Amino acid sequence: MSFPLPPLTQIPPDVVALTDYEPLARQHLGEHAWAYYSGGAADEITLRENRTAFDDLKLVPRVLRDMKGGNTRTTLLGQTLEYPVLLAPIAYHRMAHEDGELATVLGASAMQAGMIVSTRASVMIEDIAAAAQTHLWFQLYVQPDRGFTQELVRRAENAGYQALVLTVDAPLTGIRNRLQRSGYRMREGVEAVNLRGMRQPDLRPRMAGENVAFGSLLDDAPTWKDAEWLLSFTKLPVLIKGILSPEDAEMAIERGFAGIIVSNHGGRVLDTTPPPIAVLPQIVEQAAGRVPVLMDGGVRRGTDVLKAVALGASAVLIGRPYLFALAVAGAVGVAHILNILRAEFEVAMGLTGCATVDQIQRSVLWQRPR
């Protein structure tokens, strides 16, 4: 299948790793958009540790293994993925590139990578689906207007989305000091177009000195009852995103969620939470094979994908890297970073003696002698 992507010549020749796009993206995005996409919560401790936790894991090379028939394919929720990487949901792609999510889905389609579209996409979800030639899931925030939420799910179903991803770890926006210091303002002409017409809650404090969160935002925050409500009417499999606790993982499985995504929202909500890669083994152990477990946060190399799979992840999600590539080079940039990541993952598999994804076991991770 061919896609009308421009040649890679528009990408500087020294851009050879995902992180190479980051300084270029800062030049393209402007101060406000850069602060929005790159920043984390508070002191950004979690944001940093999401990355360094991968660096602390070491790999054991294996030699002289039979690698005939090797490939990176895997199966997830009955869907065949060419490699265990999906694009995580990120809001407002048009703040990074004029074509927004349409450019992102073109790049994802060119590399046959699954894409999870945000509730706060800046392009209509129907238009994104019409342009997609790859697996497409829809990320959902349960809105205070529950009727509007149900209609949004119906739209995703009718447009052909193959799964829902319920994000549960951000009932409140985190304290993002970098964003505050930038004096952030949304780029003119960019909005969450799929939320047009929704009844907005009254977020004003009810009396002088009252907290904004308690008594307003948190009154309408979703609960496990809302999660059960969602599962009761949708025809699609639903994954739950934002799990760091084995107890929450168990509650999700008991209620019928089709999968779990271990995530701390890219370090953007609550600072000093543990890195998802550190929590992943506990959640995998709790799930005990009943549902697939995915993870996001800090993935920047193909070796990171290998490490996550070795610890039990069925797939990983990447976020900021593809958004930065989108800002620099549009659809071509998105396809480029996916190509880089897949190549790195394949090389890492080969050098650790894993011909197929199901051969990746914990034994590829070095254990420090006691």
User: Coil, helix or strand for 62?
Assistant: coil
Instruction: Identify any residues that bridge with 348 across adjacent strands, giving them in sequence order.
Output: none
pLDDT at 242: 98
In this predicted structure, which of 151-155, 160-164, 214-218 has the lowest mean pLDDT?
214-218
Q: Quick one: pLDDT at residue 273?
A: 98
Q: Is the pLDDT of residue 205 over 80?
A: no
The pLDDT value recorded for residue 209 is: 53
Element (H, E) at 76: strand 74-76
Helical (H) or strand (E) element with 293: strand 293-296
pLDDT score of 352 more than 50: yes
Q: Three-state SS for 81?
A: strand
CB atoms within 10 A of CB 361: 13
Task: Kindly tell me if the per-residue pLDDT of 10 is higher than 80.
Answer: no
pLDDT above 60 (res 239): yes
Residues 206 and 108: their CA atoms lie apart, in Å, by: 45
pLDDT of 203 above 70? no
The residue from 97, 135, 265, 336 that is catalytic is 265
Question: Does position 3 have pLDDT exceeding 90, yes or no?
Answer: no
Predicted confidence at residue 1, as pLDDT, reads 40
- The answer on pLDDT for 122 being more than 90 is yes
What pLDDT sits at residue 41?
93
Euclidean distance between CA atoms 135 and 263, whole angstroms: 21
Question: How confident is the model at residue 304, as a pLDDT?
Answer: 98
Estimate the share of the chain in helix, then strand, then coil, as percent rounded to the nearest 5: 45, 10, 45
Strand, helix or coil at 131? Answer: helix
Higher-pLDDT residue of 205 and 231 is: 231
| pLDDT at 4 (0 to 100) | 53
Give the pLDDT confidence score for residue 213 in this predicted structure: 60
Backbone angles phi, psi at 245, to 5 degrees: -115, 130
Question: CB burial class (10 A; 0-12, 13-18, 19+) of residue 27?
Answer: exposed
Query: Residue 187 has what pLDDT?
Result: 84
Task: Say if residues 96 and 326 touch (Cβ distance below 8 Å).
Answer: yes
Work out whether strand 315-318 and strand 164-167 pair parallel, antiparallel, or are unpaired.
unpaired
- CA pair distance 307, 281, nearest whole angstrom: 11
- Cα end-to-end span (Å), the chain: 51
pLDDT tens per residue across span 23-66:
999 999 989 999 999 999 999 999 999 999 999 999 999 999 99
Mean pLDDT of the chain: 93
pLDDT in tens, 61-114: 999 999 999 999 999 999 999 999 999 999 999 999 999 999 999 999 999 999
Angle at 73 between CA 67 and CA 76, to 5 degrees: 140
Burial label for 134, CB within 10 Å (0-12, 13-18, 19+), is: buried
Write the CB contacts of 177 (distance below 8 Å, at least 6 apart in sequence).
39, 42, 43
Query: What pLDDT, on the 0 to 100 scale, is given for residue 212?
Result: 57
Whether the per-residue pLDDT at 200 is higher than 80: the answer is: no
214 confidence band (pLDDT: 50, 70, 90): low
Q: What is the mean pLDDT of residues 340-369?
A: 97
3-state secondary structure of 29: helix
Q: pLDDT grade, residue 8 (50/70/90)?
A: low
CATH architecture label of 13-53+75-197+210-349? Alpha-Beta Barrel (3.20)
Active site residue 265: yes
Q: What is the pLDDT of residues 286-300, one digit of tens each?
A: 999 999 999 999 999
Least confidently predicted of 42-51, 218-227, 308-317? 218-227
Q: Is the pLDDT of residue 263 over 50?
A: yes
Structure confidence at residue 211 as a pLDDT band (50, 70, 90): low
**DSSP letters along 146-169, please?**
HHHHHHHHHHHHHHT---EEEE-S
Which amino acid type is present at position 236?
L
Radius of gyration of the CA atoms of the chain, in A: 20
- The lowest-confidence range among 12-16, 17-21, 172-176, 356-360 is 172-176
